[in-house]
Structure 1
């Protein structure tokens, strides 16, 4: 044997035909010479494949330099007698298998294909360990254009000592015109890759610095060590498991420099699952990062993302990420939130400018229903970039009382929000704002001029159309002067802001408005700025011009509420109540009953109806008038409680009643409305009839109401709202008999009535309570009675025709209803006059009686403006 170097393989299979070569180890192989591979499968040319398989808990150990543990080569022959298209395949299958190399440049598993076929390494179990200088634990290369594929489902790959990497691809530029590395690496969930014990700390390394090099890595397993993706374009997908180490798109920033990689390509990092412990560094080229994992369990807030140079884009998509640290996102030109929901935990994000970008800063885009939230609770947040909210379903939210400052332009087709339940925050735009049909949402305490509010501040110009969505945070309303400033514009103010969530449209101006307590707030431009104002623009609620308050539509209904209920509590005169059941004209004082005087106890019923048109003398909210129809049924039982020898009598009465009222309200500025009321109750009366014609009559009435309140503008305000009312009356009169069966009866009556009830809440949060629902009315009047008597077939009969004239004065004609602290007064005037006619027909010795009365009244302070017409009919039956 001549002189030279010799390689002794542990297991060697070769062929130059069309078949396949197999190297299959089921035992222990150890080699120690240079290039003494443990298993070597070589197919020199032809269409077959070179396969090397380590199975059944076999082990391979090499210690020589260049001695690979398992090596498969396809198409290595220098002569070709036919097609050379086979594959180079290594498969490590059993968990007990192991491959160990300690020599320099000694790969663990290495598939190499000179032909157009693929170079493939697969692992479903076992352990590969390398420690020698420049060694790589697992590698593959397709020199003839075939793809290098590493399918590493399960097992363990370890590089330590002076080894180059656990998974790697060597520099092939020395091969001249050979094809650049095109490799796909898939790390399964059962695989552990550890390169942290090497000098450079590489778990994954690409040394093939050529523009056409392409490396794709997808990891579901547990990986420790850096990934240096090298020249060309690369994609690293973290899909599960954990990755501890930096991912470099082009070169090692710790142990190297940018000059180490000449062909820095467009690199991509995709994060769909698993946890990342360290970060991604895109470096040269136009790189991208796509983040579609949630925060939980992902070590998200500690991950670093550095785009490097070029025009780089980082995208958050399809997941909730509430732990984004803006300080960990550096050297990016574009940030896109694509259907994801992200929230920043720190106070700044900087996006670099690029060729064609506005204002020398980068672009922040929220699109496809995404949202981005800044937290300015403990201070401020600074966004260096232009902000675009691209569609109606996308949101940018600034939370807290601090300021989110945007050092660029803002284009808003979605929602720019400060609405977090706490007013006092702001968004400050340092350049221009353009509304593209989007909305701005704010929290505001709807009160006076100095009320707390969120505010949009624009240092540049405004343009386009924007809706302002205002959420009232506990404001109970107040009259403003200048108003609550919600949009502050320093440049040209050409933008059009309108209320996006109005409660109603102002009747007199057509403006949209919000409701707080008794007040309505319109959004108005004053100078360059926009204000929420609760004052009228001229005339209007309260009267007196443009500095008067503007009241919301329901206030007209609320103001009339107490007067409408009081109107149902007006007690009748004695004659209206009992007709001629006690016939004083025939002599009340006679000791024995005479015809026309019946002492039996009568059961009686009475129906009455009133139509009233009332125009107030004063009204806080400019109520023009209200028309009220009142109908009722009354029933009672009389009883003789006492009669003395002189003919004086005390009559007691128990009454019950049902009342129905409908009031239609008309207001000049606020809007019309309606109050429908049903009332039920009872009453007690006592009447002293003295023999000389003097009488003293006392009444009491107690009523419980259920009312429906509605506004023509707002709809229903309250349903079945309960209230209680009572009234007391005392009347004194004297019959003065005249000739010809005429009698005059001068009389005076004092009535006190009161309405009360629990406060209630309107549909827009306003609190309504009746503070003054009292009335104290003095009536003075005179009645005249003409009686006729005769005897019919069934006994004595009679007819009484009478007229009455009354003068009223209400000492407490003004009512007061409080709306969330705002007093609304309504005064119908104190003076009124009334005239009436009545008729009573008695039958069968007064056993049966029918009676009726018609009255009309008017206010005297504005004669004829307020009036009412009342009709009453009744019947009595004695037994």
Structure 2
């Protein structure tokens, strides 16, 4: 809005950026007494809409002109009362007024601040302190050279959206309802307004429309001469004005700067251009009214473009509102201000100067670019593109340097701003920017109601001072505020409440920050390396190359409002604060040396990589956290905020995934739900408190241990307050293996096929053990894994309590995960103690299905002391006890009997026919034997055996009597044998108790070396003596997979007699027999996977009596080739005189009763294969007659060869 030169009305200046808002009576001049007088206020009308800045005030005010600047006049002539009525007091300026001889004075209002201004006047004020935000530090305000107190007070910085401290001589502003001009107000409208009478025209010669004129100071025409005291002015359409200093220095220095500009281009429908080449030196002086001064300008009022290009030279603009280069278009054309070289310097006291400025008022684009050169300004901005209409604004620095120094309020390096719907884009791709200010210096900034984008792609930015920002983007409408920084760059801000990078969405839009370089914040409570705000929310992306330094303030990232999504992979020093909103923070890599505070509402935190030193803090709301980073070790605080109760509707859920950590209630705080997923958590410190019951949707709360996770104790006792859901592992074992640890749960416990692992000294009822204590109810299923902490096993009565339940429980809530064995015993897990009356707790017991023992009834006879129920022996025990019997059967089988060993040797007599040259003197034999046998001890153990053996023997000597009529003889020989056996053991008591009948198996091997001597009488009777050494190796495997290896060696002896009796004259013979065998084996001790097994000596003493009924086909016939065929039946009675030896397992001797009597029947035959070779064999069946059960079958096959 252009200033009114007519004095027909008092006009609050829109050029100053002041707005009159609110209610009140405003006056216009009815009459004008003359140029030296000011009219009185009488008539009224509504305040006109002007610019956007305001000063808040209250009360009744009197406005007047003060004469001679120094002397106070007390008269009050020509002044009318002005009432603000809690509205904005206008700041007025006049157009070169002269003071009247009868000036007005400013009356002192009652109990109110006094505030008012006229250019060039002196302000009378009250000392009453202000009561509004805008005047919180002083009672005095003014502009344009007024005499004032130079104190500091609060003014509103639109770029920051906050009140800041500023000098009294700086421009004051109130909050704006839409996108506003950043920094101090610019006098562009005045700069490009109507011409002043002080201007000359066409100084360097006339020019036709579309032509080019060059000013080089050569004196042709005469007005083309330095220092151009009247300035240089062209208004020719499409004109191009070139200031040429290439041939020598060209100085432009107007003598009397006025409110407009010192030098400017023309006005027309085409392109207006001003070009500065070479050594051009432009200097302007401050205007007499404090108005704007401009070094070089181009102004287009039509639809064309306006362009000013500085390729060299020096521009020094001096004045309160000094502009180095200014470009403006009022139509749809582009306004471009470009610096390729040279220097621009602006100097003023008001802090409103701009070095490189482009401005549009319609749909045209405003472009300000610094490609090189240098800019030094004491004013507001260095490079500034402003679109007041709906066009776009782009401000770019690709090179050169900017130093905005010594400003008394605020300034900026590179600024792009739109007041309409267009986009603002500020870009730095090179060069350097240094800004300074007391009220919010800005390095690079884009601001507008559309999209506002600031990019730092190169160079460096440093903003110094209170509320400074190095890189900023501000959107006041529906657009997005975006701040982008490339890798390897630095955006630094120093001073109180200053920020490295900021993005503010003041309207309904969003914000976005992408940082790949270094951002450094200042000190103060609102300072941060990255600062964002906006109700629409936004994103903050911190790349792996980024470095955020908030060490001065302690804050690296500050998000004030809205739902923000923060993703960090870089290095962050300081806290990340997101405040209220449904925020999402992801720590992907890098480091955060500080805490993450998500503020209120429903926030989500994901930590998948990198390190975090300070932890995470949620506030009110339902927060969700997922921590899977290897850098988490439990020392970092993870706080869900609020409490652990879901009654308020807020449920905080934490998931630890794939981590190992030591933590407790001091670092895991305020989570209704904690889930462990593939995680090992060591509980230590203060009690851990979690939720209990269910949330409003019926979902369970508490500590959830998934199947891939474990919880262990870092101290001997730990408490969890709340419910526990276990599908994984709770390990109560200490690293030392010493039992006694206790985990107490003050809540309910639910198992989901999880495991509780503990150490127990497996002994009697008084054994020391780790324990799980549930002060609530138990449910589900949990397996208990018990490790023996040195116990030798013992019989129990009440049992060893390992799970204490104060509430209710069910039988299957806890079961054993693996066998619990110690010494000879196996322990079961049973609900309820036999003697203590605790029916809901769980006990380890080494007896079968213990039932409660009745208590003492008053008045009744005393109850006898409880005695142990039958012990539960571990599965291997049956094998270690009964294995000796199975081995003895193999050894006794190799001892054998005469006929099983060598068949019917009487054929040597019966077949003797004198046909051989001499009687046989050598003989060898070989036999194979197989047997299957089932044996039970009288108590509980038994086995099923299969065995096979091979035996080879040779008669070393066969001696005959020498008497032709005496056919007696003797055989002396040796034998070797190898046998093997597979045995399956069982325990009947275990089977009856539902613990499994089969207990294990054994593979046994035996090697034998024997000698025999057999004497045959002429009548067929015999005496057979056998001695045999054997070596034994037994390999045991119990039903649980436990293994043991046993070795032994021993001796076997056999004595057998018999005599055949012919039945009449038939070929049938009856042969009574008797045999006694003895075998002894010494077994070495060994250690299996549970306990030591002692060595022992096993003995067997077995007797046999029986008879053989045989049929022999004698060969004493003419056919000398015929040999004797023999068939027979056997019947025997056998008795074992020895029980198995007791075996010490651990410290307990375990034995079985094995004495028994059984009968055996069989059939056999011997057939000749040749004159000297016989094949023989037999089959037997045996079954017990008394004692324990015994039943089996066996068979042999042998070959004997004599020569």
Match of 1:348 among 665, 681, 694: 665
Distance in 1 separating the partners of 2:1108 and 2:444:
128
Separation of aligned partners in 1, 2:1164 and 2:479: 117
> Which residues of 2 match residues 841-860 of structure 1 at below 5 A?
847-849=1172-1174
- Contact conserved, 2:411 with 2:436, CA < 8 A, in 1? no
Question: Is 1:465 matched up with 2:780?
Answer: yes
Q: 1:653 is matched with which residue? A: 973
**Is the partner of 1:7 in helix, strand or coil?**
strand
Cα pair distance change 1:803/1:323, threshold 3 Å: closer
Q: Distance in 1 between matches of 2:1168 and 2:605?
A: 99
Q: Return the offset for 1:643.
A: 7.6
Give 2:673's aligned residue.
364
Does the CA contact (< 8 Å) of 2:1092 and 2:1146 recur in 1? yes
**How many Å separate the matches in 2 of 1:528 and 1:271?**
47
Residue 389 of structure 2: aligned partner: 45
Cα offset, 1:558, TM superposition: 5.1
Corresponding residue for 1:101? 435
Shift of 1:497: 0.5
What SS is found at the alignment partner of 2:389? coil
Contact 1:293 1:319 in 2 (8 A): yes
Contact preservation (8 Å) 1:483, 1:531: yes
- Aligned counterpart for 2:625 among listed residues 315, 322, 337: 315
- Residues 818-857 of structure 1: matches in 2 within 5 Å? 823-829=1149-1155, 847-849=1172-1174
Tell me the alpha carbon deviations over residues 695-714 of structure 1, each in whole angstroms, 9 at most, x when there is no partner: 56233154666879686xx6
Task: Report which stretch shifted further, 810-819 or 599-608.
Answer: 810-819
Q: Which has the larger radius of gyration?
A: 2
Q: What's the offset of the Cα at 1:729?
A: 1.4
Are residues 1:535 and 2:847 paired?
yes
Structure 2 residue 320 is the aligned partner of structure 1 residue 11: no
Corresponding position: 1:547 with 2:883: no
In the TM superposition, residue 42 of structure 1 has moved relative to its aligned partner by 1.8
Q: Residues 40 and 402 from structure 1, CA distance in 2 versus in 1: closer, same or farther, beyond 3 angstroms?
A: same
Change in 2 beyond 3 A, CA 1:578/1:596: farther
- The yes-or-no answer on 1:752 pairing with 2:752 is no
Whether the 8 Å contact between 1:337 and 1:372 is mirrored in structure 2 is no
Q: Structure 1 residues 126 and 821, CA, compared in 2 at 3 Å: closer, same or farther? A: farther
- Distance, in Å, in 2 between the alignment partners of 1:596 and 1:835 is 41
Q: In the alignment, is residue 86 of structure 1 matched against residue 422 of structure 2?
A: yes
Alignment of 1:194-233 (within 5 A): 194-196=520-522, 198=523, 202-204=527-529, 212=535, 214=537, 216-220=539-543, 221-225=546-550, 226-227=555-556, 229=558, 231-233=560-562
Match of 2:803 among 452, 476, 487: 487
Q: Shift in Å at residue 808 of structure 1?
A: 5.6
- Name the SS for the 1:223 alignment partner: strand
CA contact (8 A) 1:841 1:849 kept: yes
Higher mean C-alpha deviation, range 688-697 or range 568-577: 688-697
Matching of residues 687-766 of structure 1 within 5 Å: 687=1013, 689=1015, 695=1023, 697-700=1025-1028, 702=1030, 726-731=1050-1055, 749-754=1076-1081, 756=1083, 759=1086, 765-766=1089-1090
Equivalent pairs counted in the alignment come to 794
**Offset of residue 488 of structure 1:** 1.0
Partners of 2:462 and 2:911 lie apart in 1 by: 132
- Tell me the residue number matched to 1:26: 371
8 Å CA contact 1:398–1:404 kept in 2: the answer is no
Q: Post-superposition shift, 1:90?
A: 0.9
CA-to-aligned-CA distance 1:772-796 (integer Å, 9 cap, x gap): 4622325475878998966221179
Distance 1:248 1:676, change over 3 A: closer
Please list, as runs of the form range in 1=range in 2, the aligned pairs for 1:544-623 lying within 5 A after superposition. Answer: 547-552=869-874, 555-557=877-879, 559-570=881-892, 571-581=895-905, 598-610=919-931, 612-617=933-938, 619=939, 622-623=940-941
TM-score after normalising by structure 2: 0.57
Specify the alignment match of 1:441 in structure 2: 756
Match of 1:254 in 2: none
Deviation of 1:343 (Å): 4.5
Name the SS of the counterpart of 1:568 in structure 2.
helix
Cα contact 1:574–1:697 (8 A) shared by 2: no
Distance in 1, matches of 2:1056 and 2:1180, equals: 20
- Give 1:633 shift: 4.5
Q: 1:228 to 1:808 in 2, by over 3 A?
A: closer
Contact 2:548/2:556 (8 A) holds in 1:
no
**Secondary structure, counterpart of 2:953 in structure 1:** strand
Which of residues 611, 616, 633 in structure 2 aligns to 1:305?
Answer: 616
Q: CA deviation at 1:53?
A: 1.0
| 8 Å CA contact 2:641, 2:671 repeated in 1 | no
Instruction: State the Cα distance separating 1:814 from its structure 2 match.
Output: 1.1
- Name the stretch that deviates more: 699-708 or 63-72: 699-708
Conservation of the 8 A alpha-carbon contact between 2:778 and 2:813: no
Using the alignment, how far apart are the partners of 1:664 and 1:162 within structure 2?
A: 87
Residue equivalent to 1:150:
483
- 1:710-746 deviations in whole A, cap 9, x for unaligned? 86xx6x8779x88666542153759799998999888
Of 452, 463, 487 in structure 2, the residue corresponding to residue 119 of structure 1 is 452
Aligned to 1:271: 587
Task: Please tell me the root mean square deviation across aligned C-alpha atoms, in Å.
Answer: 4.7
Aligned to 1:357: none
SS at match of 1:18: coil
CA distances 1:594-616 after superposition (whole Å, capped 9, x unpaired): 99994421222334455545342
Of 318, 338, 350, 2:655 maps to 338
Unmatched 5+ residue regions in structure 2? 1-257, 259-287, 291-319, 324-353, 644-650, 693-700, 833-838, 852-865
Secondary structure, counterpart of 1:577 in structure 2: helix
Q: How does 1:513-532 map to 2 (within 5 A)?
A: 519-526=825-832, 527-532=839-844
3-state SS of paired residue (2:588) = strand
After superposition, the Cα gap between the structure-2 partners of 1:24 and 1:824, relative to the gap in structure 1 and judged at 3 Å, is: same
Alignment of 1:638 onto 2:939: no
TM-score using structure 1 length: 0.76
- Contact 1:338/1:370 (CA < 8 Å) preserved in 2? no
Structure 1 pair 286–789 and aligned structure 2 pair: CA distance change class (3 A)? closer
Offset, 1:676: 7.7
Cα offsets for 1:806-835 (capped at 9, x unmatched): 776655431445656654433320666768
In structure 1, the residue matched to 2:576 is 247
Native 8 Å contact 1:707 1:722 kept in 2: yes
Distance (Å, rounded) in 2 between the aligned partners of 1:795 and 1:216 = 113
Separation in 1 of the partners of 2:675 and 2:595?
Answer: 23
